[in-house]
Amino acid sequence: MAKHERTLQMMESFISLHNEGHDINEIAKMFNLAFSTVYKHLGEIAEKNGVTRESLLEKVIVADHSGRNFTPVKPVDRAKFNESFATLMTGMDSLQSEIAKTIEDIEETNKFLEEEMK
């Protein structure tokens, strides 16, 4: 039985995605495949890459330059990141404007109080 194109793409990409910290569920979703389909092909993927099926089920832990262990950060969806960042910056601009207005109000109140105390 011939494999579907998505399955072939998943099999070609599995090791690099796994090494980036993705688990089987995430990889299956990326290729719109069932968990069982990905799991079924783990033996073949493992054999092709000279590793065990069990190693592909383990969470990837790597050491950073200081020797500390960590789980790799998953790749960022650049469009979502840019959208979130733009929203954050808009909020920051609005907040800065409100702070500037509040400072002006405080200064005006201080001037008024100083004149009243004379």
Q: pLDDT truncated to tens, each residue of the chain (118 aa)?
A: 567 888 888 888 888 888 887 888 888 899 999 989 888 888 888 888 888 888 888 776 655 566 665 555 555 566 777 788 888 888 898 899 999 999 999 999 999 999 888 7
Does the domain formed by 5-70 have CATH 1.10.10?
yes
pTM of the model: 0.48
Q: Work out the burial of residue 83: count CB atoms within 10 Å of its CB; fewer than 13 is exposed, 13-18 middle, 19 or more buried.
A: exposed
Picking from 84, 68, 4, the residue whose alpha carbon sits closest to that of residue 40 is: 4
Distance CA 43, CA 115 (A): 84
Contact (CB, 8 A) for 27 and 18: yes
